[in-house]
Amino acid sequence: MQQPWPEYYASKGVNWECLSTRMLTPYEDNYGAFQVISGEVVCAGVTPTWPAYLWAPLLIFLHFFLVLFPAFAAQEIYFRSDLLEWRGVKSVGWMLASMGIFGIAGFAEIGRHFIDNWLYLGLIPSWSLTFFYGGLTLAQAMLAKGAQQTENSCCPDKSSSAWAPWSILNFGCAGTVVTVLSVATVQQHANQGPVMNLEPLVVWIIVFTCLAIPSAAVFLTSRLDNWEFWALLTAGCQAAGIIFSIFVTSFGLQVFHLPTVMSFLLSFVCESYYIIMSGSRLGCRQLEVD
C-alpha cells in the first residue's frame, strides 16, 4: 500500500506556520534535533498570518539578491579597471574572480534554506554552511589580495608591499573555515544530532574570527580614500547581522531573520562601494595634484 506524502518534509517550500509564530527555543530540544537538521520542523496548530506573507517574500528576494549583486559589482570593477590599475591595485583579475566566489557562496546559503523551508534554526554545521562560510572567507581573501596597493601605486605612501604576509594568512583562514566546519559536520552526522565533539561555540568563534581577518585585510591592505570610515561601517553592519541572528535563536521570532540578511547584505554593499568608488576615484587623499 502506498504511503501518503508527509505534510512536513525538507524542501516543502515555505514553512508559513513557523514563520507566523514565536517558535520554542532552543529549537533542537523542542522540535527534535533530527527534524532541525533535516528540515522537518513542525509548528503544529498554528494558522499562517498575513504579516508573514509580506516579509517572507522580501526575505527570499534578499537572499537571491545577495547572489546577483556580485555580478553587478563585477561589472563595475571591469568598467573601472583602468582607473583601478592606475590607482595601483594589485590585480583586477583577483577582484573579479572574488565576485564569482561570493555568488557561489550565496547559492549554498539558499540551498540550505530550500532544505529547512526558509527557517533560520541556528548555526548548525552542515555541508551547505561549510560551502557558504568557506566561500565567503575565500572570496574576502581574494578581494583583499586584488585590492591591495602595489609599489606602482599613485599613492606610494600607501603601498602595501609590506602586507604580503596578509595573503598567506587570509587564504589560511579560508582553509581553516572549510576544515573546521567539515570536521564538525562529519562529527554531527556521526552523532545523529547537533552535539559535536568540538564545542559548537568554539567552532563558530574560529569561523567568524577567520572570516573577520580577510574582511579587515580588504581595508588595511588597500587603504583607499576614507578607508577607516568604510571599514567601521562595514564592521557595524556585520555586528548588527550577528546580533539579529542571536535574536532569532534566542526569542524564536523568525522575523528577525529579515534584518539579519539586510545587515549582512548592506555590509557587502558598503565593502563593494568602497572598493569600486574609492579605488577608481582620481587622485589620492594624501597626494596633491597640480
Q: Tens digit of pLDDT for each residue in 245-272?
A: 989 988 999 999 999 999 999 999 999 9
Q: How far is CA 146 from CA 20, 51, 74, 150, in A?
A: 44, 43, 13, 10
Residue 28 pLDDT > 90: no
**For position 36, what pLDDT does the model report?**
83
Domain boundaries, the chain: 55-280
C-alpha cell at 289: 595634484
Average pLDDT estimate for 65-71 = 93
pLDDT computed for residue 157 by the predictor = 47
Q: Is residue 1 predicted with pLDDT exceeding 90?
A: no
For residue 253, list its beta bridge partners: 22
Write out pLDDT tens, residues 45-62: 888 999 999 999 999 999
Confidence at residue 133, expressed as pLDDT on a 0 to 100 scale = 93
Average pLDDT over residues 118-137: 90
Mean pLDDT, rounded, of the chain: 83
pLDDT at 226: 83
d(CA 113, CA 14): 9
